[in-house]
Amino acid sequence: MDRSNGNTRLTAMERVCDEIRSAIISGAFPVGSRITEEMLAERLSVSRTPVRAALQRLASEGFIDMASHIGAVVKAWSPEEARQIYEVRARLEGMGARLAARNADNSDIARLSEIATAIAAEGVTGEGGRRRSELNRQFHLLILELSGNSHLYRTAANLMHLGFLVQAYASFKARDAQRSDFDHFDLVAAIESRDADWAEAVMHAHIMAASNIFIAAERAGEACIARAPSGKGRARKRRAGAGFEAE
């Protein structure tokens, strides 16, 4: 962030990153579509340098894949990838919740409760889904931090791609989001009560429930932010204000 003259302004890279991320979430760039540095630089009126940096960040967040000789492609997460990620997360984060129940103090529990409340106030699609995903990631990372195990934290954190979380929440219906919110409050209660067994069990069930929702929806063709049409050549879906069209 540029904080010169006491102001907080987005850098060119951050602005470009926000624009591309919003276009992916809104469906202006459908899953599987190709986006190029040249096209983005021209439409956002910037040089290719901040575009290149923004694409690298979005790749690290799990929104896009960078392929040789092709460039950036909006990432789709397969049911098998999702299953593997969720199974490992359930084991690791279950252990993290168990340790957090032993280590957390009152201020830590207050922070967890605050984030859980903020998550419950957000929607599951569009910008609400993005905010929910970011808050959800904060909640889970805080529990891992409270575990006191840095190796556990780093390993589990590497599985929490923001792009994957946004796509996963797009598969949630209102009742699924409500159930997930209840799990978060149960986790806070378990950690507050210092009940390690309860905390571990809730976390494991919470993550596997999300896995089942995502995989079922993905197999039914419902769990993408937006999919590129098959057999029609280029996908052209416009986002108001930005005028993006995927290649």
Number of domains in the chain: 2
Supply the pLDDT for residue 244: 57
For residue 246, is it within any domain? no
The helix-helix angle for 79-103 and 174-192 (nearest 10°) equals: 30
In this structure, is residue 232 part of a structural domain? Answer: no
Q: Are residues 14 and 48 in the same domain?
A: yes
For residue 49, give the CATH number of its domain: 1.10.10.10
Do 48 and 86 sit in the same domain of this protein? no
Are residue 44 and residue 165 in the same domain, yes or no?
Answer: no
Are both 174 and 65 inside the same structural domain? Answer: no
Higher pLDDT, 183 or 77: 183
Structure confidence at residue 62 (pLDDT): 81
For 153-207, write each residue's pLDDT tens digit: 999 998 887 777 777 777 888 899 999 999 999 999 999 999 999 999 999 999 9
Residue 2 backbone dihedrals phi, psi, to 5 degrees: -90, 115
Spatial distance between the Cα atoms of 203 and 140, rounded to a whole number of angstroms: 9
Pick the last residue of a domain from 74, 98, 123.
74
Give the domain extent around 27.
4-74
With residue 1 as reference, give the H or E element that holds it. Answer: none
**149 in the same domain as 61:** no
Would you say the pTM of this structure is higher than 0.75? no
Q: What is the distance between the alpha carbons of residues 234 and 191, in angstroms, rounded to a whole number?
A: 50
